[in-house]
Amino acid sequence: MTGELQVRLSLPRADFTLDVDLRLPASGISVLFGPSGSGKTSVLRCVAGLEKGRGARIVVGEEVWQDDAAGVFLPTHRRALGYVFQEASLFAHLDVQGNLDYGRKRSRSPGAARTLQDVVELLGIGHLLGRRVAGLSGGERQRVAIARALAAMPRLLLLDEPLAALDAARRQEILPWLEKLRAELKLPMLYVTHAVDELARLADHVVVLEQGRVKAAGPVDEVLSAIDAPGVAGDEAGALVHGVVAERSDQWQLARVDFDHGSFWLRDSGIAVGRQVRLRILARDVSLATCEPLGTSIQNHFPCIVESIAPDTHPSQVLVRVLCGHTALVARITRRALAGLDLKAGGPAWAQVKSVALLS
């Protein structure tokens, strides 16, 4: 798709007016994130044409789906979109193939048959085609629901908490499939969740909603490491670092992941050298020092510059955002430590990272 995705609308809700004006990238996953009742599903419903909104303008690439100022409103069936819900709404009387055929018939494109083969492969559901829906696990059902949505060759895929009804093991099973879609499809996806781990793992771009307003928006690493809105991640505040697996040590069973200003050593989980990965570094796992830490068991430490300091969720603590080159890390330290070290914005420091989670 060329061009971006524009979603501008205003919609009165029970307790507030939803008011957003978003410009989102034309590919990758844009996550709508926020607490329950903040308006995330309402945004998707307006994009789908299920609710009208006011002063709305919804443009997908070069297609105008709604422009209230010009009197344009395409009904849902004329918007080339796929919609995946929390509970896969598959037809129980059809097998998996029948469900996919239904999706394909919604597309008027002659290339749809080819696409169907591709999505079956993409989501690894070839062995399920003859199965009844009732015999599928929750994770398989969601994969089929996503495949059915993609079979209609949408210009935009809407996913409303697609993992929320699954247990932890099923969620882990389906996350790599979503990462594969993100890597292999040029399709923009609008993905609703209130789970920080999904956000960190899947999002390219993030919009944080609160009471119907946009509280923060931008690339995922920027939004997650921003400390001026600590409510975004609360106790899970931290940074996201993009890196590449550069070395695997048989001797130590560790992998080295390089980022723009250094390297992390972390547990080798078998990911091949050369693969791009995301690292999640929680603020509670980062400590700060004023000189290079020597004689410590913590292997990952980097010189950095203190960028900003902000109040945390508890008054005894602060969040400190530091820059290692262009890469931001966030440290959660006590006010007492801040005073003792005399850290100031603009000053040098060393960041020590106690624990790193490899997300993909």
Q: Residue 123 Cβ, how far from ligand ATP at the closest point, in Å?
A: 25
207 is an interface residue for ligand ATP by CB under 6 A: no
336 is a contact residue toward ligand ATP (CB under 6 A) = no
Nearest residue (CB) to ligand ATP, 46 versus 59: 46
CA angle 203, 74, 66 (to 5 degrees): 60
Q: Are the CB atoms for 105 and 181 separated by under 8 Å?
A: no
Return d(Cα 10, Cα 163) in angstroms, integer.
28
As measured in angstroms, the least distance from the Cβ of 51 to ligand ATP is 7
3-state helix, strand, coil in the chain (%, to 5): 30, 40, 35
Q: How far is the CB of 339 from ligand ATP (least distance, A)?
A: 39
- Count of residues binding ligand ATP (CB under 6 A)? 12
- Residue with Cβ nearer ligand ATP (14 or 134): 14
Contacts of 284 (CB under 8 A, 6+ apart): 235, 238, 332
Least Cβ distance, residue 66 to ligand ATP (angstroms): 18
Helices (H), 132-233: 138-151, 168-184, 196-202, 220-225
Give the residue with the Cβ less far from ligand ATP, 192 or 306.
Answer: 192
By beta-carbon proximity to ligand ATP, the closer residue of 17 and 172 is: 17
The correct pick among 28, 33, 38, 171 for binding ligand ATP (CB under 6 A) is: 38
Q: How far apart are CA 300 and CA 263, in angstroms?
A: 8
**81 vs 245, which CB is nearer to ligand ATP?**
81
Site for ligand ATP in 49-88 (CB under 6 A): none
> Is the Cβ–Cβ distance between 300 and 264 less than 8 Å?
yes
Using CB under 6 A as the binding rule, the residues of this chain from 175 to 194 that contact ligand ATP are 194
Residue 109 exposure: Cα atoms within 13 Å on the Cβ side:
16
- Which two structure tokens, joined as six digits, stand for 200? 């960190």
Q: How far is the CB of 161 from ligand ATP (least distance, A)?
A: 7
| Residues of the shown chain interacting with ligand ATP in the complex, contacts defined by CB under 6 A | 13-15, 34, 36-42, 194
